[in-house]
Structure 1
Amino acid sequence: MCQACRLKKCLQAGMNKDAVQNERQPRSTAHVSPDSINVETKREHLVTTQALSPSDTYSAVISRPLVTSSAPISATVKPCSNISNNHRFMVSLLTAETCAKLEPEDVEENIDVTTNSERDLTPFDSRLSPYTSSCPENVYETSARLLFMSVKWAKNLPVFAHLPFRDQVILLEEAWSEMFLLCAIQWSLPMDSCPLLSLPDLSTPQQANINLLTADLQILEEVFSRFKALTVDPTEFACLKAIVLFKPEIRNLKDPEQVENLQAQSQVLLGQHIHSVYPNQGARFGKLILLLPSLRFVNSEKIAKLFFQRTIGSTPMEKLLCDMFKN
Structure 2
Amino acid sequence: FFKRTVRKDLTYTCRDNKDCPIDKRQRNRCQYCRYQKCLAMGMKREAVQEERQRAKEKSEAELELAGCASEDMPVEKILEAELAVEPKTETYVEGGVGAAANSPNDPVTNICQAADKQLFTLVEWAKRIPHFSDLPLDDQVILLRAGWNELLIASFSHRSISVKDGILLATGLHVHRNSAHSAGVGAIFDRVLTELVSKMRDMQ
Please, what TM-score do these two structures have when normalized by structure 1?
Answer: 0.31
Please, what TM-score do these two structures have when normalized by structure 2?
Answer: 0.47
- Rg larger in 1 or in 2? 2
